Structure 1
Amino acid sequence: MKATQELNNLGQSLWLDNITRDLLNNGTLQRYIDELSTTGLTSNPTIFHQAIKNSQSYDSAIQAKFKNGERGEQLFFEVALEDITQAADLFRPVWDKTDGVDGWVSLEVSPLLAYDTESTLAAAKDLHARAGRPNVLIKIPGTKEGLPAIEEATFAGIPVNVTLLFSSEHFMEAAEAFLRGVERRIEAGLNPAVGSVASLFISRWDRAVVDQVPDSLHNRLGVTVGKRAYKAYQDLLNSPRWQRALNSGARPQRLLWASTGMKDPNASDILYITSLASPFTVNTMPENTLNAFADHGEVGPALPADGGDCEDVLNEFEKAGIDVQALATKLQEDGAESFVNSWNELMEVIITKSESLANVD
């Protein structure tokens, strides 16, 4: 049995953190579903930037839409939705089989809206309606301004992937926003079973402190922050408030491990997969990480529900001069800025390709 199947049997969903038109059209994604137990997919501006920049597979679609009068952001989302809906259709059997627990595909609102509540909500509603698929999650950043949009989107019945979370505190704020939306649906007599995941970023923690801590602490902060968040997640699901919502038909917002590709060449390329094995969570992984885990991965013990040694290890980082709370804030701000940069680069690629293809027969 492949390690990917063993991890799935443990109770964790394996999602692919990538999308390209070639991946969809040449059967690779279907093979990952059939052979590597892949049950969902996430995307972001960086992924689409690389996909469109490095492939001619999008050229005909960009050319046709440009000639039809579409430009810039409007053109991009039309192209992206073609990929997202095709992926959603591939995962639809998983979504049906699990009754909406799994089989999701994610599309992000424009990162330029990260600090604009009303525009984020409007964009989320628009994208979900245009996708026209029940298994499409709309990614909304868990920034201070994003939290009200998460609540309102949930109340509106829009499935949300909360992105850019970096700590258990960030996770709890996102979970609170989601739960408020669910509770409002219950009060209004609406179906509270709205899908959602909360994406906690892992690898960026270790990259941020690599030059500031001793070798003994290298590549340990991300997993440790994950352990603390997992404890908060377990405590939340067992809380009376959540159990009341569950008794009314609500679905839990699952914790998702994001940014799980290893950047340190001296470390295991599957460290963030083996170390974060945990029931009723999602691990969305880059394509090379998914293949590496299928090739030489092993499934060890699951994360302890009580967080294990996370507080002791975090104390070691504090003693080494790392202010974990301050760093979480900085990582979220830097992450939002990084996505904006990728978005701007993506728009440049769209404009350049549109203009170069305009007069091509």
Structure 2
Amino acid sequence: MSDHTRSLYALGQSLWLDNITRGMLHAGTLEDYRDRLAVTGLTSNPTIFENAIRDSDDYDATIRAAGRGADPEKVFFDLAIEDLRQAAEVFAPVHARTDGVDGWVSLEVSPLLANDARGTIEQALALHRRAGIANLYIKVPGTPAGTQAIEELTYRGVPVNVTLLFSPRQYEAAAAAYLKGLERRLDEGLPLGVSSVASVFISRWDVKVAKAVPEELHNRLGLAVAGSVYARYRALLAGPRLQRLMNAGARPQRLLWASTGTKDPAASDTLYVDNLVAPLTINTMPEKTLLAAADHARPGPLLEADDSAARAMQARFAERGLQVDELAETLQEEGAASFVKSWNGLRDTIRQRLEQVA
């Protein structure tokens, strides 16, 4: 096992892979990453699946079986669930060993539903039933509509990976929705073992502000925002609301760092690995970042519950008119739009393959 990734895991942080392809599954790459690099879970999104299906012929047989006139969206979910079932089997031993804390894979609802709470709930419930995978999260965006869906889905027992979170405020809204769903279950005497993670995107902050700040402030805002999110996470863990639920059998919603691939070629390729180390958190990495971390990660000090330094750094950006809460709304909207673009590209690719088959 890589000493570098093992050291992160020994500090109490889970390492997940932010990628999936059918070729990776068939070649045994995922098992290798699990055994050699301490990878204990996997995330996916529309962009990842768009690239996987567009860039290979591994999916053509399943597409051919669907036949001409098939709904591209239904075909996609068939493909994705097929892949995620195999990935879930790879991580089933981890899921069993950790008693359900780790070893998860994720499937996203249609990005077209980002502002449709009812549609998100209906599709998430249908996908959860259809997949029948014990260690599968349904990914729901942390938009205002998504937050409504998170509460209802948690109440109905669906494990949720909240995605597209950028700021402490957005994180707290997602966490509150999860707690409310559990509290409704508690009031009705239902079991509280409904797992969840909250995915906070990091690198997009630094890409967004790079042209508006001097070089000394490059690649600083994402980590500063992460510091404040982590402080809110620690406060929630220590708070009576969650502890009351934990006393009745609940588990905390874990914090997940997403978008952790370095975008600036002048910065370290493990920037968002080395500086986001904390127990009871997850770092989901693109394959390139995971391999870099396995080769030369140098974990820094553990994140602290005191975010005074992080807030001081954010203040330096605020002096230049870059306010975190305002930027977070923009980043969330842009992230949702990016996933819609990938979703449409994905459906177009499948539609073209269906026509080629015919």
TM-score (norm 1): 0.98
Aligned equivalents of 2:163, 2:324: Cα separation in 1: 19
Alpha-carbon distance in 1 for matches of 2:176, 2:202 = 21
Query: How do 1:79-228 and structure 2 match up within 5 A?
Result: 79-228=79-228
What SS does the aligned partner of 2:16 have?
strand
Shift of 1:308: 4.9
Query: Which residue identity is paired with 1:98?
Result: T
Instruction: Give runs of aligned pairs for residues 1-361 of structure 1, distance below 5 A.
Output: 2-66=3-67, 70-358=70-358
Q: What SS does the aligned partner of 2:106 have?
A: strand
Alpha-carbon distance in structure 2 between the residues aligned to 1:216 and 1:49: 36
**Amino acid aligned to 2:261:** G
Structure 2 counterpart SS, 1:125: helix
Deviations 1:13-69 (A, max 9, x none): 1000000000111010110000000000000000000000000111111111225x6
**Separation in 2 of the partners of 1:143 and 1:66?**
36
Kindly provide the amino acid, as one letter, of the partner of residue 16 in structure 1.
L
Determine the C-alpha separation between the residues in 1 that align with 2:91 and 2:308.
34
Per-residue deviation, residues 91-138 of structure 1 (Å, max 9, x unmatched): 011011001100000000000000001010011001111111110000
1:159 CA drift (Å):
0.1
Counterpart Cα distance in 1 of 2:265 and 2:303: 25
RMSD over equivalenced CA pairs, Å? 0.9
Structure 2 counterpart SS, 1:193: coil
Task: Kindly provide the CA deviation profile for residues 220-247 of structure 1, in whole angstroms up to 9, marking residues without a partner as x.
Answer: 1011100000000000010011110110
Q: Which amino acid aligns with 1:158?
A: V
- Matched residue type, 1:92: A
3-state SS of paired residue (1:145): helix
Distance in 1 (CA, whole Å) between partners of 2:67 and 2:220 is 47
Contact residue 66 and residue 75 of structure 1 kept, 8 A: no
How many angstroms does 1:71 deviate by? 2.1
Q: Contact conserved, 1:19 with 1:47, CA < 8 A, in 2?
A: yes
**Letter of the structure 2 residue corresponding to residue 51 of structure 1:** A
The answer to whether the 8 A contact 1:4-1:36 is kept is yes
**1:319: how far off?**
1.2
CA distance in structure 1 between the aligned counterparts of 2:299 and 2:230, rounded to whole angstroms: 18
Q: Which runs of 5+ in 2 are unaligned?
A: none
The one-letter amino acid of 1:22's match is G
**Aligned-residue offset at 1:2:** 1.4
Matches of 2:81 and 2:72 in 1, distance apart? 14
TM-score, normalised relative to structure 2: 0.98
CA distance in 2, matches of 1:300, 1:117: 40
Cα distance in 1 for partners of 2:306, 2:244 equals 22
Letter in 2 for 1:65: A
Counterpart residue type for residue 257 of structure 2:
W
Q: CA–CA distance in 2 between the matches of 1:181 and 1:46? A: 29
Q: Displacement of 1:307 after TM fit?
A: 2.1
What's the offset of the Cα at 1:306? 1.5
Identity of aligned residues (%): 55
Three-state SS of the structure 1 residue aligned to 2:144 is coil
SS at match of 1:74: helix
In structure 1, list runs of 5 or more residues that go unmatched: none
Q: In the aligned structure 1, how far is the partner of 2:333 from the partner of 2:301? A: 33
Q: Matched residues in 2 for 1:303 and 1:149: separation?
A: 30
Note the C-alpha offset of 1:265: 0.4
Deviation at 1:321?
A: 2.2
How many residues end up aligned between the 2 structures? 357
Q: Report the CA distance between 1:325 and its aligned residue.
A: 1.2
Q: Secondary structure at the match of 1:315?
A: helix
Aligned-residue offset at 1:286: 0.1
Structure 1 runs, 4 residues or longer, greater than 4 Å off: none
In 2, the alpha carbon distance for the partners of 1:257 and 1:70 equals: 36
Cα distance in structure 2, aligned partners of 1:302 and 1:66: 53
Q: Distance in 2 between matches of 1:327 and 1:76?
A: 32
Q: Secondary structure at the match of 2:6?
A: helix
Structure-1 separation of matches of 2:215 and 2:81: 44
Deviation at 1:216, TM superposition (A): 0.9
